[in-house]
Structure 1
Amino acid sequence: MNESCPENDRHESVAVAKFLLASAAATGADPHGIVREASLSSDALTEADARVPSPAMFALWELTDRVMEVKDTALTMAGQYRLGALDLLDYLATSAPTLGEAMRLTLRYLPFISTNCRLELVEENDRETTYAFSHFQDGGPATDLSERFSLAVLCIRANEATRQLVRPVHVGFAQEAPRRHADLAELFSARQRLDFGQATGSFTFRTSDLRLPIATADPALHAILRRYADTLPLPTPETWESRFRRLLTESLADGTVGLDAMARRLAVSPRTLQRRLADAGTTWRAELDAARRTRAEKAARQGGTPVSVLADRLGYSDARSLRRARRRWEDVPATPQA
């Protein structure tokens, strides 16, 4: 978990809120009415460095979706996106030398736009590079709108920044497939299919496309912007290891623990997951055992859970297997997890 940003303190840049409201106004909606209904202060939205709590941003998404008379609010808004709409994050990217560097900076500085969104590079080889996108907090239907908009903007920006057609190899959505998604397919122009109901949102570029030059690259301006960005407070990103352990704990809680299931949650192959764990100096078996131990010890302190029930929740074949694990744990000090 991102320790520097508690779950109840997620927030978004006011630039995003202004963009949503301007997009709504462009279709004839009343932005002032949306702001009032979302219980936001109009004065706060005029401050350049203001932050909007993530629940309020989700409310803005739902309200704009309700009043905008369009087929897909998220895609309509993404279609109105122009370079610079995402404030400093866009200018860092569009002054960078290549698309790959622009993406790397987006990974690093995304908290300037949102501390509730996560973007990470999950797989890279000579042919393809995959990025995963997700939210820390779930905003219900508004999360789906935000996911579609965010993935669309990231792909649109790649085209506008390079002034070339950068078609993603693949795009995946965590949300379920809408009844009609021809507009999605047209916007993304994916070389392959769009997939829905995935563990996380994702998009894959050809690695060769990441070497494309940014049309507006400006080394001097870029250096100035980087120095400025580095003077601003930036929440510490959640590490891959801490995210893996958080998702593993969630898997134990909902009974979906397993190497293949965890790989799907992380949007990687089981083989890549095992390699990432090896790079971190650990293994799937060791991490699973440590997570089971932590959960079992917590259950023991709280009391009231029959051994057979706990064994099933932890993914053991029977209560006897859990008892054997407990005897083994008694001889080994617990290893603190990040």
Structure 2
Amino acid sequence: MILHAHQGTTSSALTRLSVNAARRLGIPRDGYAHLLGVAPEHLNDDLCRTPAATSIRIAELTTVHASWTELALVLAEQSAIGALGVWDYLITSAPTPLEGIRDASAYFATVADTATDNLRIVEDGELVTISHVNEADLTYEAACAIRAYALGLYQRRLSEAAQRRLVPLRVTLAAEAPRRHEPLTRLYGTRAIEFEAPVSSITFLASDLSAPTPHAQPGLSTVLRRHAEQTLAGAIPLHNWLDLFRTALASVHDEATTATLPAVARRMAVSTRTLQRRLDEHGTTWSNEVEAVRRAHITRLLHDTDLGIDAIAARSGYADARALRRAVQRWYGTTPARLRRDGRSL
């Protein structure tokens, strides 16, 4: 289930890297600012999952003006530890770098679109080969950049885990040899790079990856794996306009007791009439969407807090506890007290 979570989307952190790389390489923002998920409220929200098509389009725009080798290097240089959230620490906090990259493979969905991208590990005696397979529908140059960057990212994280620069024995790239190799030799720290390979991969000595990670803390990997699962469970995928509306509504609801139509319209930079029309086009209404947010909010308060019914009613925009009880009865066919007990027994 983890491997297939939120297919068609990537983490907002990965999209931020793409946007920052495009900016650094001088790509005009007006070429991608309109794309779904690039608005600041989504790009800077780690719960949001951006459409994979957004990152692909930014990479394609970037490689029109810069070489794929330059883009791969810039992306890697920006990828400081923590830039990709919990996925980074799965690698650097495991008992060995090899165990870390295995966890990173198992939870690859926390950063990438597993419908098109895969991290594969092959252990063969004294060697460990890590491959990045990208099958997305994108231009040749953008595909080369993404694969080359991914290998550089794996090398960087494994080196951070080992707390020393790990030099690969061999790098293979599913790309034609570029005119300039210098960005790639900087990226990998070696000239042992083969081009026109069937799969992009990076190979290390098994002894380099199986040595204990310095300062590894017992039990930390278990905590991080649990956090990765929670990250996926709580993620908000942005596939279309309705997803954007719902994130805006939830955001306004979190800031006030009752979300209003004008407030959400302002957040989305549209008129109230346009907002209502778009909701109708998507087969829903303002009142239905507000009730869904209220229902989720109230259910969460009942399950996760000890607040009384009166306090929950006040926080949820209901006139009194009786109105809240009627709403819970309508939604679930039970009482708030029973819903609370049932939720805590799960």
Instruction: Normalising by structure 2, report the TM-score.
Output: 0.59
- AA aligned to 1:103 is I
Residues 232 and 37 of structure 1, relative CA distance in 2, 3 Å threshold = closer
In structure 2, relative to structure 1, the CA distance for the partners of 1:195 and 1:44 (3 Å cut) is: same
2:320 matched residue in structure 1:
none
> Alpha-carbon deviation of 1:150?
0.8
Considering only aligned residues, what root-mean-square deviation do their CA atoms show, in Å? 2.8
1:122 aligned residue: 122
Query: Paired residue for 2:11?
Result: 13
**1:33 aligned onto 2:26:** no
Consecutive unaligned residues of structure 2, counting only runs of 5 or more, are 234-346
What is the deviation of 1:71? Answer: 6.9
Residues 62-99 of structure 1 show CA distances to partners (whole Å, capped at 9, x for unaligned) of 22344669971211221222111111100222221111
Aligned to 1:148: 148
Trace 1:246-261 onto structure 2 (pairs within 5 A). none
Preserved contact between residue 16 and residue 86 of structure 1 (Cα < 8 Å): yes
* Alignment check: 8 A CA contact 2:91 2:157 kept: no
> For the Cα contact (< 8 Å) 2:76–2:149, is it kept in 1?
yes
Match of 2:52 among 33, 51, 54: 54
Does the C-alpha gap of structure 1 residues 102 and 34 become closer, same or farther in structure 2, counting only changes over 3 Å? Answer: farther
Which residue of structure 1 lines up, in the alignment, with residue 85 of structure 2? 87
Cα deviation digits, residues 163-186 of structure 1 (max 9, x gap): 212111111111111122133123
Residues 1:165 and 1:4: Cα distance change in structure 2 (over 3 Å): closer
* Cα separation, 2, equivalents of 1:230 and 1:92: 12
**1:313 aligned residue:** none
Kept after mapping to 2: 8 A contact 1:34/1:64 = no
Aligned residue in 2 for 1:103? 101
> Aligned to 1:72, what secondary structure does the other structure show?
helix
5+ residue gaps, structure 1: 235-338
- CA distance in structure 1 between the aligned counterparts of 2:48 and 2:66, rounded to whole angstroms: 25
Question: Residue in 1 aligned with 2:273?
Answer: none
Alignment of 1:160 with 2:165, yes or no, is no
Distance 1:77 1:233 in 2: 24
Q: Is the 8 A contact 2:47 2:231 kept in 1?
A: no
SS at match of 1:57: helix
CA distance in 2, matches of 1:3, 1:160: 25
In the alignment, the residues of structure 1 paired with residue 3 and residue 103 of structure 2 have an alpha-carbon distance, to the nearest angstrom, of 21
Tell me the distance in 2 between the aligned counterparts of 1:228 and 1:169.
33
- Cα distance between partner residues in 2 of 1:101 and 1:3: 17
Deviation, structure 1 residue 138: 3.1
Structure 1 residues 15-57: Cα deviation after superposition (integer angstroms, max 9, x where no partner): 1011222334445655x53542545440322321211222221
Contact kept in structure 2, 1:161 and 1:216, CA below 8 Å: no
- Scaled by the length of structure 1, the TM-score of the pair is 0.60
**Equivalent residue runs for 1:1-338 within 5 Å:** 4=4, 9-26=7-24, 32-36=29-33, 38=35, 40-42=37-39, 43-66=41-64, 72-114=70-112, 115=114, 116-125=116-125, 127-140=126-139, 141-190=141-190, 193-215=192-214, 217-231=216-230, 233=232
| Cα distance in 2, alignment partners of residues 169 and 122 from structure 1 | 15
Shift of 1:228: 2.5
Corresponding residue SS for 1:208: helix
Q: How far 1:231 sits from its partner (Å)?
A: 4.4
- Structure number with greater Rg is 2
Letter in 2 for 1:199: P
- Partners of 2:221 and 2:200 in 1: CA distance: 29
Structure 2 CA distance for aligned equivalents of residues 178 and 203 of structure 1: 18
Letter in 2 for 1:96: A
Change (3 A) 1:69 1:104: closer
- Which deviates more from structure 2 when the two are superposed, residues 44-53 or residues 59-68? 59-68
Matched position secondary structure for 2:171:
strand
Mapped partners of 2:64, 2:160: distance in 1: 29
Using a 3 Å threshold, how does the CA distance of structure 1 residues 207 and 4 change in structure 2: closer, same or farther?
Answer: closer
What secondary structure sits across from 2:167 in the alignment?
Answer: coil
Aligned residue number for residue 237 of structure 1: none
Residue type of the partner of 1:219? P
